[in-house]
Structure 1
Amino acid sequence: MLPLRLAIVGDIHDQWTPADQQLLLQLQPDLTLFVGDFGNESLAVVQAIAAIPLRKAVILGNHDAWYTATRWRRSQCPYDWTRENRFEQQLKALGPLHVGYGRLDFPEWNLSVVGGRPCSAGGSQWQHRRFYRHYYQVGSFPESAQRIADCAIASPCDRVLFLAHCGPSGLGDQPEDPCGKDWSKPGGDFGDPDLALAIAQVQRQKSVPLVCFGHMHHRLRNRRDRQRRSWHRDHAGTVYLNAAASPRILKAEQTTLHHLLWVELSEESLQAQQTWWTAQGVLVQSEELPLLPQPA
């Protein structure tokens, strides 16, 4: 069987143009994965992505519930929150494409895409209690972890790919680690504990080749002489990829450069590249990720 070709789109933050859709249509990946943060409840962006005629899976990020999850932000809401709810409209636009606390099965590839906790902002404190209780009937990290794990274990497929907005805890506590805290007092693991618990449980029963996420931008807030490490490989062989090159569109001479994380996944191996493309669909930069196990 030929390797699966996966395009992973990092945090968009309203940076989505017709050229991005055209690039995906040109590349024709087998599956496109969106890690969330389309904008601050940017319904038009989500609707445009939902309409792309390609196989895809989506998870919403913390910015996609920016006004709905946090009451004090509603005073800044650019639409009348008392008359409409664009978080709910995003869910409606995506339908089954949104895998938060759910999954999409691809039996022809023996693969399921399982979503982590939607709209996560990361960290070891359980936040937005009313939001998660109202929309997902979840009230703690253990409840959340079990819900994710149960969904994955119930999959008819042997292989599970996790799609989350924030990555799991356990990938390092330095600011430049995949989910390391790089603001205020830099340092500390800001990954999702519930996702880490779920992955560990599922790894005992199924193959977990890949966990992909965003949220923690590659460009560090606390320093400019390096970028965040965008990958991790654990000793079970699972690869963790952070796709959040933000901004994901850069200005260049007479064009713009658009970021995609490109993955080729086979039964035996996984290869990943950070890629930058012109608006005309020309590959101008590609970096192969080493994907070696990290020291204990």
Structure 2
Amino acid sequence: MTSQKKPSQTLKIAVVGDIHDQWEVDDAIALKHLGVDLVLFVGDFGNESVEVVRAIASIDIPKAAVMGNHDAWYTATEWGRKKCPYDRTKEDWVQEQLDLLGTAHVGYSQLDFPQWNLTVVGGRPFTWGGPEWRFADICKERYGVTNLEESAAKILAAVKSAASDAIIFLGHNGPSGLGDRPEDPCGKDWHPIGGDFGDPDFAAAISQTLTIGKTIPLVTFGHMHHNLRHTKKELRKSVFKSPEGTIYLNAASVPRIIENEGHKQRNFSIIHLEAGVVTKAALVWVGKDFQVISEEILYAASPSES
């Protein structure tokens, strides 16, 4: 077996949580001020918000994105199609978003970054989350995938086509297996409370990726917002570290833009990757003049690990 090439340098990665139409020109400028090497978008740009995706597609920083359930809001379900604000026989806003993102969209696909010996692989696009096969029509029509097993196989196929041994997984929803309490990264926080609402196909693909000898420093996603629906007393747990050393990060701090004393503040999750290992994960808020006004350290490696 050939020796693995680890990502060769220290990388600063921004993960942008669920946007839900909260994206401005200042967000792109803030990313420049943060000095990030790579930007990962977990989806839910808005309800088929073509203009938000257009703005994100124009960012001139290396990037990868995956589509969320809201990104097919008027297309993927019968009730959504009934509320559709455009003529679906003449327009297809889902396809417009995909076309704008081009190769940056990694759902069921991969994007190699050979300069860092790193590949980003996307989970199932448009996922709603949970153990059931939801949004079935769109996966069948656009990807020929009809169940969780086929979905896991399609994600794994992207892994096998990766040029790198180090894989960052990017999903809209996280994988199953991260806990079943409502405050866990993908825990169910609506009634009946509790249960693992992670994606089983994503978890299966991750497990199989480790089996074939790839390394996975980071799995990042959103969908399950940090603010819990059933209580205001605590926030969702953002980070889980697996026994293999993989960091799982839920980046869905929503709303991601707030106003405080007349000034807007915007959040980004920042990951430091050193020699193929996540050494730090933090939620940062950027204020006026693009200065970091707060940093919540979600994970920091002990000195022996870094």
TM-score interval for Structure 1 and Structure 2 normalised by the shorter chain: over 0.9
Residue 134 (structure 2) pairs with residue 127 (structure 1): yes
Residue 148 (structure 2) pairs with residue 161 (structure 1): no
Q: Within 5 Å, which residues of 2 pair with 1:7-46?
A: 7-46=14-53
Residue 302 (structure 2) pairs with residue 287 (structure 1): no
- Which runs of 4 or more aligned residues in structure 1 lie more than 4 Å from their structure 2 counterparts after TM superposition? none
Residue 115 (structure 2) pairs with residue 76 (structure 1): no
How far apart are the structure 2 equivalents of 1:50 and 1:28? 18
RMSD: 1.4
Q: Deviations over 1:16-59 (max 9, x none)?
A: 11111110122231100000000000000000000111110010
Q: Deviations over 1:131-185 (max 9, x none)?
A: 1110010011111101111211221211000000000000000110000000121
How far apart are the structure 1 equivalents of 2:193 and 2:256? 23
Q: 23-32 or 49-58, which moves further after superposition? A: 23-32
Q: Which of 246, 255, 260 matches 1:238?
A: 246
> Contact 1:232–1:292 at 8 Å: present in 2 too?
no
Q: Which of 113, 116, 120 matches 1:113?
A: 120
Residue 61 (structure 2) pairs with residue 58 (structure 1): no
Question: Where does residue 179 of structure 2 map in the other structure?
Answer: 172
Q: Which of 74, 89, 99 matches 2:106?
A: 99
Q: Deviations over 1:93-120 (max 9, x none)?
A: 1111100000000112111000000010
Residue 224 (structure 2) pairs with residue 224 (structure 1): no
The alpha-carbon distance between structure 1 residues 291 and 27, as it changes in their structure 2 partners (threshold 3 A), is closer
AA aligned to 2:251 is A
AA aligned to 2:41 is F
How far apart are the structure 2 equivalents of 1:160 and 1:215? 21
| 2:289 match: secondary structure | coil
Q: 228-237 or 77-86, which moves further after superposition? A: 77-86
| 1:209 match: secondary structure | strand
Structure 1 residue 198: Cα displacement? 0.3
Structure 1 residue 269: Cα displacement? 3.1
| 1:202 match: secondary structure | helix
The alpha-carbon distance between structure 1 residues 109 and 79, as it changes in their structure 2 partners (threshold 3 A), is same
Residue 220 (structure 2) pairs with residue 195 (structure 1): no
AA aligned to 2:53 is V
AA aligned to 1:282 is Q
Q: 193-202 or 270-279, which moves further after superposition? A: 270-279
> Contact 1:166–1:216 at 8 Å: present in 2 too?
yes
Question: Where does residue 266 of structure 2 map in the other structure?
Answer: 258
> Contact 2:282–2:299 at 8 Å: present in 1 too?
no
| 2:103 match: secondary structure | helix
Structure 1 residue 279: Cα displacement? 4.0
Structure 2: gaps (5+ residues): 1-7
> Contact 2:182–2:188 at 8 Å: present in 1 too?
yes
